[in-house]
Structure 1
């Protein structure tokens, strides 16, 4: 089977960490990427879950602010009371 080169750009610190990981696993970075590619092609999917931290930092801060009453308006018992507050001269 013919071989070809693939160039991948990544953060240099991540590369160093990944090289160390691969060494610990007894393989090269080339072997690790080849294993990934073969599994992805065989299963026709990314062979691991990709996601963001849920909730993310912005959402966690908003939740914490709400719990602490930061940036919240006072409660209203009627639309009339809300409108009076909105129309009041502060």
Structure 2
């Protein structure tokens, strides 16, 4: 089988971490990317979920703060005011 070269740029720290993980699995980055390419080709999709990060408004920290504020309002403390998003 003829070989081809693919050049890509990734963060240096990410590359180092990936090399470390691949080595633990007994392979190198080329083998890992080859496995990825074979899965994409066979399945005609990215072989894992790709999604946008969650909306920061719904972060666990913000939800906890909102619940605390609601509790305070329900107990008669604080005032209601507009929130701009």
Give me the CA root mean square deviation. Answer: 2.3
In the alignment, structure 1 residue 59 sits paired with structure 2 residue 58: yes
Q: 1:45 — aligned with what? A: 45
Unaligned runs of 5+ in 1: 75-90
The 3-state SS of whatever aligns with 1:64 is helix
Q: How does 1:4-83 map to 2 (within 5 A)?
A: 4-52=4-52, 54=54, 56-60=55-59, 61-69=61-69, 73=80
TM-score by length of 1: 0.66
2:69 match: secondary structure? coil
TM-score, length basis structure 2: 0.69
Larger Rg: 1
Query: Relative to structure 2, which stretch is displaced further, 2-11 or 45-54?
Result: 45-54
